[in-house]
Amino acid sequence: LAAAHLFGMRSTSEKPDQTSVAASETRLETALAAWEVQAYRTLANGPDAADLVRMARVQALITSTTGILTRPLPAILTAR
Amino acid sequence: VIRRLAPALDAGHVAWNRTAKRWAELTSVASRTDPSLISAASEVRAAIAAIATNQTGWATPDQLAARVDLPKTVKTLHLSMIASVDIAYVVRDTAVDHPGLIAPARIIDMRSQGEAEIAIEQGETRYEGVTWTTPHQIAANQLIPLPEPARRGLINLADEVIGSTNLARAPQDRAGTHLREAGERKENDHAAAVERGGGG
C-alpha cells in the first residue's frame, strides 16, 4: 500500500474507504502534533506579532472544527 | 453533555479570532512569520479541509460520518484543545513581559486610549490625563514599545481565550468519558455475544 501511494498508484486494499478514513485521521493527528510542537518552539524563540496572529487563527480553526464535528455525535452515539 | 459543548466552543472560536485580530494590528511591514510555523499551520489547515469541508463549505454530518471515525477524531481535537490552553497562557505571558513588543504608533495610541478609558471607568486613576504617544510618533507612525494599557488589552483577551477554552474543556472531558464508556459497552456486548455463541 505504501509503495502504491508513493508511486501514485491506486490503492490495492480490499477496503479502500477504510484505508482512506484511517489516512485522514492519521494525517490530522500528525498535523496537530506537529503544530503543537512548532507553536511551542516559536513561542520559546521570541515570537513576532505575526507568529501570534497565525497561532490564534489556527487555534480558532481547530476550535470551530471541533464544534462542527461534535454536532453529529449525539445521533451517532444513540445509533450505537 | 455534548449539546452543552457547542456554545463553549463557539465562545472559544470567537475569543481566538478576536485575539488574532488584535495581534494583527500590532504587525508592521517588518513583521515576519516563522516559516516553520507557516508550514505546520498549512498542514493543519489541509488536514482539516480534507476531513471537514466540501466544495461549498463545511461538510454535512453524513459526509463527516463517512470520512472519519467521529468519536476518535473529536477526541484528537479535544487533546489539541487542551494544548491550546497552554498556548494561550504563553501568549498571555508574551503580552505581559515580552520586551520586544513594538507596534505602529497610530494603532497603539488608539488601543491604549480605549483600554485606558475602560480602566478609568473601572476606577483606575493612574491613566487619567496620560498621553501614550507624541505627535511626532503619530505623524511618522513610528514603531514604539507597547504602553501598559495596550498590553493590558492583550492580557484581557488572552484571559478571555483561557476562560472560554476551559469552559469548552470541562464538558468535553465528561463527553470523553461518555465516549469511552460507550466504546467499552460496545466491546462488552460483543464479548458477551461471542461467549453466548461459543456456549450455545
A3: pLDDT strictly greater than 70: no
Say which residue the cell 508550514 belongs to.
Answer: B39
Residue B52 and residue A68: Cβ atoms within 8 Å?
Answer: yes
pLDDT given for residue B39 in this prediction: 96
pLDDT at residue A9 greater than cutoff 80: no
- Judged against a pLDDT cut of 60, whether residue A72 lies above it is answered with yes
What are the C-alpha distances in Å from B108 to residues A26, B74, B104? Answer: 43, 39, 6
pLDDT tens column, A14-63: 555 556 667 888 899 999 999 999 999 998 888 888 999 999 999 999 99
Amino acid, res. B139: A
The verdict on pTM exceeding 0.80 is no
B9 vs A6, higher pLDDT: B9
Burial of residue A12 (number of CB atoms within 10 Å: 0-12, 13-18, 19+) = exposed
Q: Do A63 and B9 touch (CB under 8 A)?
A: yes
DSSP assignment of chain A equals: -HHHHHTTPPP--S-HHHHHHHHHHHHHHHHHHHHHHHHHHHHHT---HHHHHHHHHHHHHHHHHHHHHHTTHHHHHHH-
Asked whether the predicted pLDDT for residue B200 surpasses 50, the reply is no
pLDDT confidence of residue A17: 55
Q: Which pLDDT belongs to residue B30?
A: 81
pLDDT in tens, B59-87: 988 888 888 888 888 888 878 887 788 88
Size of interface A-B (CB pairs under 8 A): 208
User: Which of B18, B32, B73, B190 to mutate against chain A (most A CBs within 10 Å)?
Assistant: B73
The C-alpha cell of B67 is what?
470520512
CA A50-B103-B22 angle, to 5 degrees, is 55
DSSP assignment string, B121-169: HTT--TTTT---S-HHHHHHT-EEEPPHHHHHHHHHHHHHHHHHHHHHH
pLDDT tens by residue, B99-120? 778 888 898 888 888 888 888 8
As a whole number of angstroms, the distance between CA B40 and CA B33 comes to 12
